[in-house]
A and B are shown apart, each in its own frame.
Chain A
Amino acid sequence: MARFLVRRVLQAVIVTVIVTVIVFALLHALPGGPARGVLGQQATPEQIAAFNRAQGLDQPIWTQYWHYLGRLVQGDLGESFTLNAPVSQLLANRLPKTLLLTMASTVVALLIALPLGVWQAARRNSVLDYTATALAIIVYSTPVFFLGLILIMVFAQAIPLFPAQAPQGDALGDILADPNALVLPVVTGAFATVAAFSRYMRSATLDNLAEDYARTARAKGTSERRVLVRHVVRNSLVPVVTMLGYYIPVMFGGSLVVESMFNYPGVGFLFWNAAQTSDFPVLLGVVLVIAIATVVGSMLADIAQALIDPRVRSVAV
């Protein structure tokens, strides 16, 4: 296990370094280079030249990358020129809220999706199974914002059960203080995840039901229900946990849309506003942090998989 952990962490570090290279490259792809990115679109050529000299942008690209990494390590992501605050500070304030929203959505979604997938597999090829599958594909194909709009029109306007605006506030506590306002954003975000994971779970369960060990269990006189619950479900979770790791970037993408729709004060909303105003330090800072969060998340998913599966655990030893 220790060896596995070391290898997996090392891999994550390498991926993170490649991510910084990509973001660094984006920084240099900005019109006018990083100077305009930092100073804003209105900067004069003189200002840019001065900035370049001051920031060492006339130095070789590798030296610049090295300095960039150095600043990152110190938590320096630059300064937002529309919000007049360090990007790291903005992120430190917003990221927990985004994690709260995505995690709530994901937990709600998985609580529905996993049992649904197992249920469908148990009733495979029945009318109900087909209906659920078709519905899942349709939901999966529905843009999150369209779903959100419909939910708002129905549950905030036609039947005003919940507010159409997410809870506001600077601290995480303010958000949690208004759970009613969290309902629509969380539900909107959960829909696509339910659709995706009920399908993964269904197919993983079906694969496992056809495995030899399931037949062995039946031949022992195990009831079909117990074969599912005691044998198949756990085995099916192994690939599903892997998929969960792959799914993290999709969840962040979804939160960007949900946050923009409901004015939820998270990273996605911050990013969207920054995109409107071409606030590049914020944009690239968010990209970097989201990417690192994704790398860490998929690493955790792999570790979770190793915890479920003794084979992975011992290969790793």
Chain B
Amino acid sequence: MSGSRPDQLAADDEPAPASGHTPGTVPRRRGTALRRFTRNRLAVAGLAVVAVLFLFSFVGPLIYDTDQVHTDLAAANLEPGDDGHPLGTDDVGYDVLGRLMVGGQTSLVIGLAAGALATVIGTAWGAVAGYLGGRVDAVMMRVVDAGIAIPALFLLLVASAITTPDVPMMILVMGLVSWLVPARLVRAEALSLKTRDYVLTLRAIGGSHRRAIVRHIVPNAVGTMMVNATFQVADAILLVAYVSFLGMGVQPPATDWGAMLSKGVSYAYSGAWWLILPAGVLIVLVVASFNFIGDGLRDMFEVRGKNR
């Protein structure tokens, strides 16, 4: 991945003659970065959808109050519209609309926190490996290779089989299995940044490694990190859904969108669409939105790369 910003050209430089590329005359300004983001309509739409889903999950229950702790078998399997349940009820009598709100909280919290955790660990690991280089780098990256070789979903299921999965545990485990890709990306970035003239200059006049990493490498890798962090959140939300779908996620009465789908499957085949469609659509919406936002951020930071 070529992560680095194509180096800035002064305003008076010649337009790049290569076709298929915008001319390199454009001087970089803060304002244009934001414009590059907002020009990506899907990214803006994604931002809006994420905001709405947050409101839905966290503010929604304040307005639309339902009991999501106690089962009510008397009101089980109601169709949408029945008895004041706009989206019906599930097999143990939970109101589906209210349950979507509670489930959204779990999905969003785990996704965001795990994405953030993975980004922090990955950045630190990758920056150190890439900056130090040589043997240290080789060893650190072999560890990453080994970690990547074990598919995250398999590790998550083993972890769920070992302990009882709850939200903090899920965040921790997901963070611990998903830092590898950001580590790889940041390492590649650090590897190229550390040979930049400004880092060499700093080293030559006696600046510390610490200053090189903290003041030069990390700030310049921020674009790559932000873009990847956004994709990481999307992946984490998907992963939560997978684990829950396979029945190894958070345990009732807690739930998330994946778990709702999982429980609804057997009823869905007999026509209870409301048990799976809303939850499924919400997962797709939120994950796609984060991916769209990541795309927009990539335009904004002009991170060119093959990671997706």
Given a CB threshold of 8 Å, the question of whether A touches B is answered with yes
* Chief secondary structure at chain A's binding surface: helix
Interface residues of B in 110-163 (CB under 8 A from A): 142-143, 145-155, 157-158, 160-163
Given contacts A257-B246, A271-B157, A283-B158, whether A204 and B306 have CB atoms under 8 Å apart is: yes
Interface residues of B in 267-281 (CB under 8 A from A): 268-269, 276, 280
Residue contact B246 to A275, C-beta cutoff 8 Å: yes
> How many of chain A's residues have a CB under 8 angstroms from any CB in B?
69
Q: Does A294 contact B (CB under 8 A)?
A: yes
Residue contact B292 to A287, C-beta cutoff 8 Å: no
Residue contact A199 to B308, C-beta cutoff 8 Å: yes
Give every chain B residue within 8 A of A304 (Cβ-Cβ). Answer: none
Select from chain B the residue with minimum beta-carbon distance to A212: B18
Give every chain A residue within 8 A of B104 (Cβ-Cβ). Answer: none
Q: Which of B20, B153, B242, B269 contacts A153 (CB 8 A)?
A: B269
Bound-complex Cα distance A21 to B268 (A): 43
Select from chain B the residue with minimum beta-carbon distance to A22: B146
Bound-complex Cα distance A143 to B62 (A): 29
Select from chain B the residue with minimum beta-carbon distance to A152: B269
Binds A, one of B72-80, B88-96, B283-291: B283-291
Bound-complex Cα distance A211 to B161 (A): 50
Residue contact A257 to B245, C-beta cutoff 8 Å: yes
Residue contact A290 to B145, C-beta cutoff 8 Å: no
Select from chain B the residue with minimum beta-carbon distance to A146: B280
Select from chain B the residue with minimum beta-carbon distance to A209: B20
Q: Does A210 contact B (CB under 8 A)?
A: yes
* Chief secondary structure at chain B's binding surface: helix
Residue contact B162 to A30, C-beta cutoff 8 Å: yes
Q: Does A307 contact B (CB under 8 A)?
A: no
Residue contact A137 to B291, C-beta cutoff 8 Å: yes
Give every chain B residue within 8 A of A310 (Cβ-Cβ). Answer: none
User: Closest approach, in angstroms, between the C-beta of B212 and any C-beta of chain A?
Assistant: 28
User: Closest approach, in angstroms, between the C-beta of A32 and any C-beta of chain B?
Assistant: 10
Q: Does B247 contact A (CB under 8 A)?
A: yes
Bound-complex Cα distance A255 to B306 (A): 24
Give every chain B residue within 8 A of A239 (Cβ-Cβ). Answer: 306
Give every chain B residue within 8 A of A209 (Cβ-Cβ). Answer: 20
Bound-complex Cα distance A153 to B305 (A): 37
User: Closest approach, in angstroms, between the C-beta of B294 and any C-beta of chain A?
Assistant: 9
Residue contact A203 to B242, C-beta cutoff 8 Å: no
Given contacts A246-B148, A257-B246, A295-B149, whether A287 and B154 have CB atoms under 8 Å apart is: yes
Select from chain B the residue with minimum beta-carbon distance to A293: B149
User: Closest approach, in angstroms, between the C-beta of B284 and any C-beta of chain A?
Assistant: 5
Give every chain B residue within 8 A of A146 (Cβ-Cβ). Answer: 261, 276, 280, 283-284
Select from chain B the residue with minimum beta-carbon distance to A277: B161
Bound-complex Cα distance A280 to B145 (A): 24
Interface residues of B in 244-264 (CB under 8 A from A): 245-248, 258, 261-262
Select from chain A the residue with minimum beta-carbon distance to B279: A146
User: Closest approach, in angstroms, between the C-beta of A295 and any C-beta of chain B?
Assistant: 5
User: Closest approach, in angstroms, between the C-beta of A270 and any C-beta of chain B?
Assistant: 12
Select from chain A the residue with minimum beta-carbon distance to B292: A137
Q: Does B226 contact A (CB under 8 A)?
A: no
Q: Does B183 contact A (CB under 8 A)?
A: no
Residue contact A249 to B149, C-beta cutoff 8 Å: yes
Give every chain A residue within 8 A of B150 (Cβ-Cβ). Answer: 19, 22, 249, 287, 290-291, 294
Binds B, one of A10-18, A76-84, A86-94: A10-18
Given contacts A137-B292, A275-B161, A278-B161, whether A143 and B241 have CB atoms under 8 Å apart is: yes
Given contacts A137-B292, A239-B306, whether A257 and B162 have CB atoms under 8 Å apart is: no
Nearest 7 interchain pairs by C-beta: A18-B146, A141-B287, A141-B288, A253-B153, A146-B280, A249-B151, A294-B149
Q: Besides A146-B261, A206-B20, 16 other CB < 8 A contacts?
A: A15-B145, A19-B150, A140-B308, A146-B276, A149-B276, A200-B306, A209-B20, A218-B19, A239-B306, A257-B242, A257-B245, A275-B158, A276-B247, A284-B158, A287-B158, A295-B145
* Interface pairs (27), CB distance under 8 Å: A11-B142, A15-B142, A26-B158, A134-B42, A140-B288, A141-B234, A141-B284, A141-B290, A142-B283, A143-B287, A146-B284, A196-B308, A200-B306, A203-B304, A206-B20, A214-B20, A215-B17, A239-B306, A249-B150, A253-B151, A253-B154, A257-B246, A275-B158, A275-B160, A283-B157, A295-B145, A298-B149
